[in-house]
Structure 1
Amino acid sequence: MAEDHGHSAAVDTARLHRLLGAPDLEWLVDRVTERIAGGSPATGGTATLADPTPEQRRAVERLLGRPPSRGRSLSVRLSDVDAVLKDSGICPAGLAAAVGALRGPITVRHEAVSAAQAAWASAHEPLDHLVAAQHPDLTAWLHRVRTTGLLKRQASDPADGADLARQTARVLAMLPHPGIVRPVLAARAVGDAHALDDGRPLTALVMSAVRSLAGMAAADTADAEGRRHAWATAGVATDDLSSRALVFNIPPPHDECFLSSVLALGITAGEPLVLTLRHLESLSGTTSTAPAINRDLSGITISVCENPAVVSAAATELGPTCPPLICLEGSPSVAAIRTLRWLIARGAAFRYHGDFDWGGTRIAAGVFALAERAGTPATPWRYDHAAYLDAVARGLGAPLQPAEPRDTPWDPELRHHIATHALRIEEEHVIESLLADLACPSL
C-alpha cells in the first residue's frame, strides 16, 4: 500500500509530540525523513545511532515499551515504531504520516528533480516558438542555451526563467533591425528601457543569440567595443548620436530634406561629413520597411574603406573631384550599415578595402555579406591575396598579433597568405595606391 506522507487528520498531535517528537528522538525522525526524501519506504530497515546517550536510550524504551539492545550502538526497527503508532491510536496512518505531521510535507528528491526538469523544459517554450516560427537560424543557439543551462543561470526559478525567455523572444523577434537604439528596442520589446543594459539577465540571453547570428565567439564581446560591434550587426546602436558614419562626396538624394542640403554642401566644399543615426532618420530607403526609392545611383560604385586616414588624404588630395567614399572606422556602426543599405536601395555597387589583419577580414566579410543579401555587386578593392603579397614584397607591414584566423570567402587564398606571412598591412601603408585609384575611378 502506498504511504500517505501528508495524512494528519487522525493524528493525536499532543501524544505524538511527547512520544516521537521528543528531542532525544530527533535522530530517529531525521533517519525516517531521509528515507522518505530518498524515495524509500518509511518503515523499511533499521535506524542505527552510534554512541547514544542514556537519555536517547530511555527515549527509545518509552517509545517501544521495552529496553533497547545494550550494544555500543542503538538500533531501532522502523516497522516496530510504525506498529506502536498504529496500535496506540497516536497515528493510525503509521510512521510516514507521523513524521509528516512533525516535520511538514517531505519532498521526494527524484520527484522534485523530475518536476524541476519539466518546469525548466517548459520555461524554454517561448524560445522554441521563436526559432520555429521566425528564426530557424538560431536552432544551434537554442540547443546551446539548453545544454549549457544559460537560461537557468540567469533566472532564479522556472517561473522567472519562463518570463525571461518570453522577453528574450520578444527582443529577438525584432532583430535584425534596420536601425534602432538599444533603450528604444528594450522599451518597445519589454517595456523597460534599461532591460538591455550591460549586466542584465536579458542582455546575456540576447547577446548570446546576437553572437550566434553574427558568427562571433564569446571572446569577441569581452570588451565594450566588441559588444558594440555585435549589437551593430543586429542593427542596434547605443544611441542615435554616437553611432556615426564618415562619408565623403556621397551624392545627395533628389528629395528635399536636411541631409540632401548637407551632402550637397559637402560635395561643393570637398569636405568629409559625419552622419549620425539621428541624421539618417530623415532619409528614405534606410529601413527595410521603406518603400522603393529611385535607383539614381545605378552604375555607380561606392568605395568603402576602414580607416579615416584614407578619407582625410582623399579630401586633401582630390577634394570635390574624389568619387564617393565611405569609411567604416573599424567595425561598422549601425549608422554606417544603415548608410550602406540606403546606397544599396539607390542602386549603388561597392568595392571594399581594409587592413590586412584578422579584424579587417572580419569587417570585409560583413560588408560582402551585406551586399550579397541585398543582391548588390561588391568587389574587393586591392583587397585580395595578390595585393597582400605585393605589399609584403615591398617590405610593408608589421608583425601580426596572434588571433584566430578568419575565412576570406571572397578570396580563399588570402587567409592562407596572411597566416603564413603573419604581417599586418594597414591601409596607411598602401594609401598612395588607394588615392591613385580614386584619382582615376574608371580604372
Structure 2
Amino acid sequence: MTSRHTLDLPGLLPLWHAVHDRLSSGRPVSRVRVGPLDDAGREALADLLGLDRLPSAEPTIRLAQLEAAVADACGRPVRDVVTAILGPIRDRAAERERDSIQRTALWDWLVGHEVVTTQPALTEWVTHLRTNGLVDGSPDRTRSLLASALTVLAALPSDGEPLPVLAARVLDGDSHALDDGTRLSSLVLRALAVLYGTDMPDSAQGRRALWGRAGVADDELSSTVLAAGLRLGGDGPVARIARISADAGHAVSLTLAQLRSPGELGRSAGPVHIAENPSVLALAIRRFGASCPPLVCTSGWPNTAVIHLLRQLAACGASLHYHGDFDGEGIRIAAHVLAKTGAVPWRMAAEDYRSAVPRIPAGPDPGRLTPAPWDPALSDAMAELRTAVVEEVIADVLLDDLAGRCPGSTACMTSTPPLP
C-alpha cells in the first residue's frame, strides 16, 4: 500500500488543488488564490506558512512563500508535493498549441484531399465542418471519421448497391456504418447535398432519395443512359445493340441491368464525346445520322448507368471528352464526371466561355459558382460576366468538332437543322 505524503492533509487539499490547477496552466505562476476555506483549512494553512493569525477564507499566497514553507516542512519543491498528492501536472498552454496545430493540419488535409480537389463544390462542405468544429471530439477521431466519409464519396455513384452492401464493401465489412442517423451517414449526405445543390434532407424519405441520386439501390431498369454512334467491336449484347442503333442512325437507351452484364464490349471506333443535354445528342443524330461519332449524354447529373457506361468505355481504351452547360450547376456536374470517369474537358475552358457569351448578351445568371478544377480562370470569367451559357447555344460548335470525326461523310459536313 502506498503511503500518503506528509503534507497530504484534509485541511490542505484546497491549497494543493488550487496550486495544481495554476501550475497546470502552462504559464508562469507567482501567486495562487485559494478557497473558500473552512476553519480547519484556514488553521492548516496558517500552520504550514507559520502565520501568527488565521488567513482569510480566500487568501492569495505568493508561490515563493509557499515554496519556502514546503521546503522547510518536507525538503521538496511545491511541484513535487502536488504531483505526489494529486498526480501529474499538465501544461494546458502547450496542449492548446498542440491541439491548434492538429486542427490546422486536419483541415489542411481535408481541403487538399483528392476527393475535394477534384470536386471543388465540396469546399463548401469543408467550410461547414470547420465552422461547426470537430465532428468527433478530437482531431484524430475526427480525421478517422472524415477519412471514412471520403472513402464513401470516392465510391459514389454506387452501382445500384443497397446501402448496407455499399457500407460493407468500402468500410471494412461494417454493413451498419452508413445506417440512418449515424455520424458517418450524416457526413456523407451533407456532402452529397452540397454536390447536388440541395438542402440537407430532414426526413428518412428525403435521405433515401438523396442516396438514390448517388446510385445507391438504383432501379436496374429505370436507371438508363442515352448514347449514339457507339460502334463497339465486341460480340456481347450491349455492343451488338449499340452497333445496330448506330448503323440505323438512332440513339440507344441502355439500362443499368444491361450494363451490369454487357458481355464483350470491345473497343470504341474513335474517342467518345459526352454532352450534358439530350438536345445536343438529338441534334447530332439529326445532322450525322448513321455516321454519328460516338456520343454519350449524361442528362444532367449522371446516374449510375451513365457512370457505369463511361467507365466501361474507358476500360476498353476509349478516350472520353466532356462538355456541359456554362453555369454553376454545369461546372459541378463537369467536375463530377471528370473525377469519376477520367474524362477530359471538351471546349470547357475560360476562353470557350468568353467566346460563347456574346451569343446571348441577355443570358440568365449562372447561379452559385464553384471552382473549375481543370481551369481556375473559368469560374473567374463566369463571376465577372454573370451570364450562363447552356450547351444548346453552342451546339453548332460542338457538332462541327464531331464532324471532324467522320470525314468523307456528306451528312457530317452539312449544317445542323433546328429541332422542331
TM-score by length of 1: 0.56
Q: Which residue of 2 aligns with 1:440?
A: 411
- Return the alpha-carbon distance in structure 2 between the equivalents of residues 165 and 414 of structure 1: 27
User: Of 9, 12, 19, which residue of structure 2 is paired with 1:20?
Assistant: 12
Q: Which residue of 1 aligns with 2:5?
A: 11
Q: Which residue of 2 aligns with 1:29?
A: 16
- Return the alpha-carbon distance in structure 2 between the equivalents of residues 186 and 178 of structure 1: 13
- Return the alpha-carbon distance in structure 1 between the equivalents of residues 82 and 382 of structure 2: 75
Q: Which residue of 1 aligns with 2:297?
A: 327
Q: Deviations over 1:254-293 (max 9, x none)?
A: 544343455467569977554344432333688xxxxxx4
- Return the alpha-carbon distance in structure 2 between the equivalents of residues 418 and 151 of structure 1: 28
User: Could you say if the C-alpha distance between residues 188 and 19 of structure 1 is closer, same or farther in structure 2, counting changes exceeding 3 Å?
Assistant: same
- Return the alpha-carbon distance in structure 1 between the equivalents of residues 331 and 274 of structure 2: 14
Q: Which residue of 1 aligns with 2:261?
A: 282
- Return the alpha-carbon distance in structure 1 between the equivalents of residues 374 and 291 of structure 2: 29
User: Of 236, 244, 251, which residue of structure 2 is paired with 1:257?
Assistant: 236
User: Could you say if the C-alpha distance between residues 168 and 423 of structure 1 is closer, same or farther in structure 2, counting changes exceeding 3 Å?
Assistant: closer
**RMSD over equivalenced CA pairs, Å:** 6.4
Larger radius of gyration: 1
Q: Which amino acid aligns with 2:23?
A: I
Identity %: 24
User: Of 79, 87, 90, which residue of structure 2 is paired with 1:107?
Assistant: 90
TM-score by length of 2: 0.58
Is there any run of 5+ residues in structure 1 with no aligned partner, and where?
1-7, 212-216, 287-292
Q: Is the 8 A contact 2:229 2:246 kept in 1?
A: yes
Q: Is the 8 A contact 1:285 1:342 kept in 2?
A: no
User: Could you say if the C-alpha distance between residues 151 and 176 of structure 1 is closer, same or farther in structure 2, counting changes exceeding 3 Å?
Assistant: farther
1:20 partner SS: helix
Q: Is the 8 A contact 1:167 1:190 kept in 2?
A: yes
- What is the number of residues matched between the two proteins? 385
2:21 partner SS: helix
Q: Which residue of 2 aligns with 1:290?
A: none
Q: Is the 8 A contact 1:120 1:161 kept in 2?
A: no
- Return the alpha-carbon distance in structure 1 between the equivalents of residues 354 and 255 of structure 2: 34
- Return the alpha-carbon distance in structure 1 between the equivalents of residues 32 and 157 of structure 2: 70
Q: Deviations over 1:332-382 (max 9, x none)?
A: 3453244345446667677876545443466567778999x679x9568xx
Q: Deviations over 1:296-341 (max 9, x none)?
A: x13xx766433335557888x7998583653211133453244345
1:32 partner SS: helix
User: Could you say if the C-alpha distance between residues 350 and 154 of structure 1 is closer, same or farther in structure 2, counting changes exceeding 3 Å?
Assistant: closer
User: Of 211, 216, 228, which residue of structure 2 is paired with 1:238?
Assistant: 216
- Return the alpha-carbon distance in structure 1 between the equivalents of residues 105 and 295 of structure 2: 51
User: Could you say if the C-alpha distance between residues 64 and 238 of structure 1 is closer, same or farther in structure 2, counting changes exceeding 3 Å?
Assistant: same
User: Of 126, 141, 146, which residue of structure 2 is paired with 1:160?
Assistant: 141
Q: Which residue of 1 aligns with 2:418?
A: none
Q: Is the 8 A contact 1:247 1:275 kept in 2?
A: yes
- Return the alpha-carbon distance in structure 1 between the equivalents of residues 335 and 77 of structure 2: 72
- Return the alpha-carbon distance in structure 2 between the equivalents of residues 303 and 114 of structure 1: 52
Q: Is the 8 A contact 2:20 2:89 kept in 1?
A: yes
Matches within 5 A, 1:9-408: 9=3, 11-12=5-6, 16-21=8-13, 26=14, 28-39=15-26, 47=33, 57-64=42-49, 66-68=51-53, 74=59, 76=61, 93=76, 95-100=78-83, 102-113=85-96, 153-157=134-138, 160-161=141-142, 163-164=144-145, 167=148, 171=151, 183=163, 186-191=167-172, 192-193=174-175, 195=177, 223=199, 237-239=215-217, 241=219, 244-251=223-230, 253-260=232-239, 262-263=241-242, 272-283=251-262, 293-295=266-268, 297-298=269-270, 304-309=274-279, 323=292, 325-343=295-313, 354-355=324-325, 357-360=327-330, 363=333, 389-390=358-359, 392=360, 399-404=364-369
Q: Is the 8 A contact 1:68 1:75 kept in 2?
A: no
Q: Deviations over 1:33-70 (max 9, x none)?
A: 2332134788x6565779x8877654544544543378
